[in-house]
Amino acid sequence: MMYLSVLETKDEKRRFQLLHDTYERKLYRVAYNILQEQALAEEALQESWRKIICNFEKIISISGDKTERYLVSIVKNTSLTILRKEKHADPLPEEWELPPSNQGAENEFARLVAVIRSMPAQYRELLELKFVFEWTNKELAQHFGMKESTVASRIARGRAQLIEKLKEEGYVYG
């Protein structure tokens, strides 16, 4: 069993309680929005807090919107994992249609966020587990019930499409 070396001092515990006070309700609402049942949402929230405690050193090194982004992503993917266990999840689509060109974004990051928000949910889940939570292709294959080679090709294709989209709209890459 991994030994957790953080959250030992009073200051660290106080910081954790502050984090908990600040985000608990919102994170519950994210979980409930996905799972639509209080018991499952509370289960997702507890599991998420367990992951947050495990990653506490990382979380306290970031701040503001970046903290919220990360916490929301943890709860969202924990909830999706529970949902996947509770009922049959839709299969991962092979392709997805890129949104039409839009030069209105202030920078490439904002444009990338906008394109990601147009992706199918299952594709986003795949990329989040890979690039945010650094799952291996083997873990992803087990999670989605697919072959490792299929997972690897879907990730590579999704990533390549995003890069191509940014280039096509004039954002710098390479």
Partner 1 sequence: MDDKQFDQMLSAALQEANRQDYSEFDTIDDEIPWSANYRRERMRMRANPQRWYRGKTAPVWKRVGRMAALFALVITLSFAALLTLSPEVRANFSSWTLRVFDTNVQYDFLGDETDKLPWFELHEIPEGYEEFIREEHPDSVLHAYESNDAQVFSLQYFKMASGSALSIAIAGAENEPVTVDGWDGHFYSPVNPDASAVLVWMDLDHNLQFVIDGFFDKETLIYYAENIVEKNN
Q: Which residues bind partner 1 (CB under 8 A)?
A: 1-2, 4, 6-8, 13, 16-17, 20, 25-26, 28-30, 33, 38-39, 42, 45-46, 49-50, 53-54, 56, 65-66, 68-70, 72-73, 76, 108-109, 112-113, 116-117, 124, 127-128, 131-132, 159, 162-163, 172-174
Rounded CA-CA distance 174/94 in Å is 26
- DSSP at 79: H
For residues 83 and 163, which CB has a smaller minimum distance to partner 1 in the complex?
A: 163
Taking the complex as a whole, the smallest distance from the CB of residue 15 to partner 1 amounts, in Å, to 10
Alpha-carbon span 33 to 2, nearest angstrom? 32
Gyration radius of the chain over CA positions: 18
Q: Which is nearer to partner 1, 69 or 147 (CB)?
A: 69
CA dihedral 37, 32, 121, 78 (to 10 degrees): -90
Q: How far is the CB of 55 from partner 1 (least distance, A)?
A: 11
